Amino acid sequence: MRWLRGAALGMAVALAGPAAAEIVLFGGPSFLGMVAADDVSSVKSELLRGASPNAADSRGQTPLMIAAANGNGEMTGLLLRHGARVGDADALGNTALIRAVESGADEVVDQLMAAGANVNKANRQGVTPLMAAARAGRDDFVDRFLKSGAKVDQLDFAGRSALAWAQDGRNANVVRLLKAAGAR
């Protein structure tokens, strides 16, 4: 695959997605490709050689966001120990915490919260981690975020609150938690 250039590379990316560009460039996996492949050993070696834990791809995704989306607690911990920033957001405004909620990764959510992730930081659609957790029906995440100061009545750009998301999903436990926290 080392020979892929120009149109051939564009076709590979179109067929396999943006991660393909990370893997085919220069004949081997890139740092972000190693993170995406859950190759903890290689990522650790690259970090020790000076790779940035905050390098981003063309969509603004950092290694931490990729590890969170993969639900990889070991990779997340490694990146955090090497200085990965928990507050960075991709081009859509999604943070590693939102990605961890979407992947349902309990350990990763815990690690990000312990590292100071902002439970009220909304993406470009106005969706917060609390809303993402309510949408996913994750009462455990909702409870953690509420205890960490999540704004219960914050609205996304469509005017929906976490309670509206929970009611749509018909998750009685999440609805109960949000109402107990003062949601209207």
Q: Dump pLDDT digits (tens) for 96-137.
A: 999 999 999 999 999 999 999 999 999 999 999 999 999 999
Q: Is residue 11 part of a domain?
A: no
- Do the domain assignments include residue 168? yes
Question: Residue 138: inside a domain, yes or no?
Answer: yes
Q: Which of 95, 118, 141 finishes a domain?
A: 118
Question: Which of 92, 118, 144 corresponds to the end of one domain?
Answer: 118
**Mean of pLDDT values over 65-75:** 97
Contact, 117 vs 87, CB < 8 A? yes
Q: State the pLDDT confidence band at 4, using cuts at 50, 70 and 90.
A: very low
Does 10 fall in a domain? no
- 3-class DSSP state of 84: coil
Quick check: 13 pLDDT over 60?
A: no
Neighbouring CB atoms inside 10 A of 97's CB total 29
Residue 100 sits in the same domain as residue 82: yes
In a domain, 3, yes or no: no
Residues 163 and 136 in one domain: yes
Mark whether 91 and 63 lie in a shared domain: yes
107 CB-contact burial (10 Å; exposed 0-12 / middle 13-18 / buried 19+) = middle
Q: Are 152 and 181 in contact, with CB atoms under 8 Å apart?
A: yes
Q: Single out the residue in 75, 92, 118 at which a domain terminates.
A: 118
Range of the domain at 51: 31-118
pLDDT at 14 over 80: no
Q: Do 114 and 177 reside in the same domain of the chain?
A: no
Please tell me the pTM assigned to this model: 0.83
Q: How many domains does the chain have?
A: 2
CATH number at residue 50: 1.25.40.20
Residue 27 has pLDDT above 70, yes or no: no
pLDDT > 90? residue 3: no
